[in-house]
A and B are shown apart, each in its own frame.
Chain A
Amino acid sequence: MAEDFNSSLLRTGAERLALLGKHAQALMQGYIGEQVDESAFSDAALKKLLAARILWRPDEDSGLKLSHRVRDLIAEMLSDARRRHVNADVAETLELLRNLVMTWREAQQRGDYLLAEQQQVRLTQEVDDLNSRFADAIDSLWQRLNSDFGFVSSLNDKIRENERAQKQISRLLDGLDLIDFDELITLVGGSGPLRKLLVSQLQNQVSAHYSNLREVQSRLLQLMARFRQQQSRNLLVNGMVGFLREHPRFRPGNYAQRTEVPTLFNQAAGLVPAAAAALDRDRDADLLAELLQHLPRRDLQAENLLVAAPAQWSAEAASVAARQQQLKEDVEAYYLQVVDAGQPLSALDYLQSSGLAWDAEIWLFQVIAEYQGLPARQQQQFRIWQDESPTSPWNQVRLIHDVQLQLAPVAQVAS
């Protein structure tokens, strides 16, 4: 009897499943659109589809619709985040499990082992279904999370979808809470196989679902915080742009003049670190010489020089030139004094005694430059001694402290 029932179930089920494949195109149109196109089916096919509750008709006047079971099946198969449903109804399943255990126990007591075995298979199926529902729900939640809710386009929609997902998690967690293992232990009594199925195995599965749901929940909350932050930034930017357009003359206070300048506005001016080539370290000399060699050559064209010639004389430049001319004249006076004196004359002594205001360094520089600027023959008529010393015992750069100048004796000039 039961054998017959099972074989007819098998046959009809397989036939009806095949209907899904046979009319796949038209049914998918129904999944996407509002209703299924009736003209796609023959009368006989339509009758079968309605009998299989793949399609249904809400009332006489309305069109054909896909049944919600088939819609759910397709949504699950496609991982269609917009359409997947989360079934958190655990109470109903628990009720069913209790009944099945009762029937099993009665069958056992009667010695109807065939029925008892069937009941055990059904119990296994129900527990598997329960697990599969949680696994699917958790998978659907992770899918949505990992796509950043990319299946909806606006931030507001994402926030709403995130809220919906969080409510689903609460319902799933509430559902898991309904499973009372103390009750199940009492229910299965001393039966080993049932104890394994409804206690040890289910306990492991439930605890895995718990930790999965907690994890996805905390990730959803993090994502929500990010969405909210983005939303707040959007509102801030749009709000400020709107305000500034409406109030083009608005100026904020000068926070820089407050006793306490807000940190955000206290941004120090940048410093430009600069350095120049230095020759005071022997080990750098080679490198600098090499750099010097690789400097691009300055090829001044004649026309460039012409262009450069008519320089603008500012008042400042004019005064510098006048001072330079004065310095040159004072140095010439010193040379005349040397010629008159007939003996070595210190340049610095002359500077001091004549009451000139030139800086000693500039003075010495000009005296030496004047000497070097003389034609060779005239240079020979003077003797020059530079009073110099190294900068320091470790530094061979020589500093000039003073210059002695003397008109060379006639004899020496001749030689």
Chain B
Amino acid sequence: MTSLMPYGPLLERLLAGQFVCAESDEEGFRQLQDDSLRDSINDYLRPLNRRLASNPDASVWFLAWQELTAEAREQLSSQLAQTWNSLLPLLEWMQLVQEALGRDAVLTAGDILKPAEFVLRSEDNHSLRERLNRLAADRFFNSQSEDLGNQVKQIFRRLKEQGYLVQPHADRQYYRVTGKIDYLLDLVRFIRDEENLPIEDQPQQQEALL
């Protein structure tokens, strides 16, 4: 049985409902690679009706309910509804970043984002500006401002709040994408499979060139 004394900060973060990944908490994530520590944490969490859980790749860890009581199910239902409502704005934001910054891949854990760069690219691009405007006003991001800078600021603030971004230095305007983005895509993949949605994630059979 591993003593949990050195793991206070990690436990507190997990109990508060945060996702622990290599980007959001490198130290904690490294600690969680230890099977015996995970067992000890699970023992500790049992009276609180919680247990450690991860996404399929084990790139993010979070707390799940141990017993699915009626209250737990109630909470999960409303959480599911919230997740569902945030899905489209989050995915649209990912597309927007990819286009605005001219990247060839959607955001992935560890990517660095600078709000200023985002503003710069959208400023003179009418179509980007318009999409950003619409996105910022979405209930999820909920920006009331007409100003591009404020809209971007609000979007980043919300994403940080929701654990998709971390700001390594409070006084420096750059953010790092966390593993929660992987979790989001895992959710999308799950919903697609579960609901049999007609969404391909493998390219069509390679065109028969030559």
Residues in chain A within 8 A of chain B (CB atoms) = 153-156, 158, 230-245, 250-257, 261-273
| Option from B16, B76, B183, B191 in Cβ contact (under 8 Å) with A256 | B76
Stretch at the interface among B23-31, B36-44, B90-98, B144-152: B90-98
Interface pair B106/A269, CB less than 8 Å apart: no
Instruction: Decide: A236 near B189, CB < 8 A? Known: A230-B104, A266-B64, A270-B15.
Output: yes
Interface pair B199/A269, CB less than 8 Å apart: no
Residues in chain B within 8 A of chain A (CB atoms) = 12, 15-18, 48-50, 53-55, 62-65, 68, 72-77, 79-80, 84, 87-88, 91-92, 94-95, 98, 104-106, 108, 183, 185-192, 194-195, 197-203
Complex Cα spacing A272 to B92, Å: 32
Complex Cα spacing A236 to B184, Å: 11
Interface pair B195/A267, CB less than 8 Å apart: no
Note all chain B residues with C-beta closer than 8 A to A273.
12, 15-16
Given A237-B95, A241-B92, A251-B84, 6 other A-B residues pairs in contact with their CB atoms under 8 A: A236-B201, A237-B106, A239-B201, A240-B199, A255-B76, A265-B187
Interface pair B16/A271, CB less than 8 Å apart: yes
Interface pair A252/B55, CB less than 8 Å apart: no
Interface pair A158/B104, CB less than 8 Å apart: yes
Least CB distance, B60 to chain A, in whole angstroms? 10
Instruction: Decide: A257 near B64, CB < 8 A? Known: A244-B88, A271-B48.
Output: no
Instruction: Decide: A155 near B105, CB < 8 A? Known: A237-B94, A243-B198, A271-B16.
Output: yes
Interface pair B183/A264, CB less than 8 Å apart: yes
Instruction: Decide: A268 near B106, CB < 8 A? Known: A232-B201, A235-B202.
Output: no
Complex Cα spacing A154 to B16, Å: 41
Complex Cα spacing A328 to B63, Å: 50
Interface pair A270/B64, CB less than 8 Å apart: no
Least CB distance, A380 to chain B, in whole angstroms? 55
Instruction: Decide: A240 near B188, CB < 8 A? Known: A256-B77, A268-B65, A273-B12.
Output: yes
Least CB distance, A9 to chain B, in whole angstroms? 41
Interface pair A234/B106, CB less than 8 Å apart: yes
Interface pair B105/A261, CB less than 8 Å apart: no
Interface pair A243/B197, CB less than 8 Å apart: yes
Q: Residue on B with the closest CB to A152?
A: B104
Complex Cα spacing A272 to B18, Å: 11
Interface pair A236/B195, CB less than 8 Å apart: no
Interface pair B55/A154, CB less than 8 Å apart: no
Interface pair A262/B190, CB less than 8 Å apart: yes
Interface pair A267/B64, CB less than 8 Å apart: yes
The 9 closest A-B pairs by CB, nearest first: A270-B17, A239-B199, A256-B76, A230-B105, A266-B64, A155-B104, A256-B77, A232-B201, A236-B201
Q: Residue on A with the closest CB to B51?
A: A268
Most buried by B among A231, A242, A256, A263: A256
Note all chain B residues with C-beta closer than 8 A to A230.
104-106, 108
Least CB distance, B101 to chain A, in whole angstroms? 13
Least CB distance, B57 to chain A, in whole angstroms? 10
A–B complex contacts, Cβ < 8 Å, 29 sampled? A154-B104, A230-B104, A230-B105, A230-B108, A233-B105, A233-B185, A234-B105, A235-B199, A236-B188, A237-B91, A239-B200, A241-B91, A243-B198, A243-B199, A245-B88, A252-B194, A255-B76, A255-B80, A263-B54, A264-B187, A264-B190, A265-B80, A266-B68, A268-B75, A269-B75, A270-B15, A270-B18, A271-B17, A273-B12
Instruction: Decide: A253 near B195, CB < 8 A? Known: A237-B95, A267-B64, A267-B79.
Output: yes
Note all chain B residues with C-beta closer than 8 A to A233.
105-106, 108, 185, 201
Complex Cα spacing A323 to B134, Å: 55
Least CB distance, B136 to chain A, in whole angstroms? 17
Interface pair B88/A256, CB less than 8 Å apart: no
Least CB distance, A237 to chain B, in whole angstroms? 5
Note all chain B residues with C-beta closer than 8 A to A158.
104
Instruction: Decide: A241 near B194, CB < 8 A? Known: A230-B106, A273-B12.
Output: no
Instruction: Decide: A257 near B73, CB < 8 A? Known: A252-B194, A265-B80, A271-B16.
Output: yes
| Option from B74, B79, B201 in Cβ contact (under 8 Å) with A235 | B201
Interface pair B190/A232, CB less than 8 Å apart: no
Interface pair B63/A267, CB less than 8 Å apart: yes
Least CB distance, A260 to chain B, in whole angstroms? 9
Complex Cα spacing A266 to B53, Å: 8
Interface pair A257/B15, CB less than 8 Å apart: no
Complex Cα spacing A150 to B187, Å: 31
Interface pair B63/A236, CB less than 8 Å apart: no
Note all chain A residues with C-beta closer than 8 A to B53.
263, 266-267
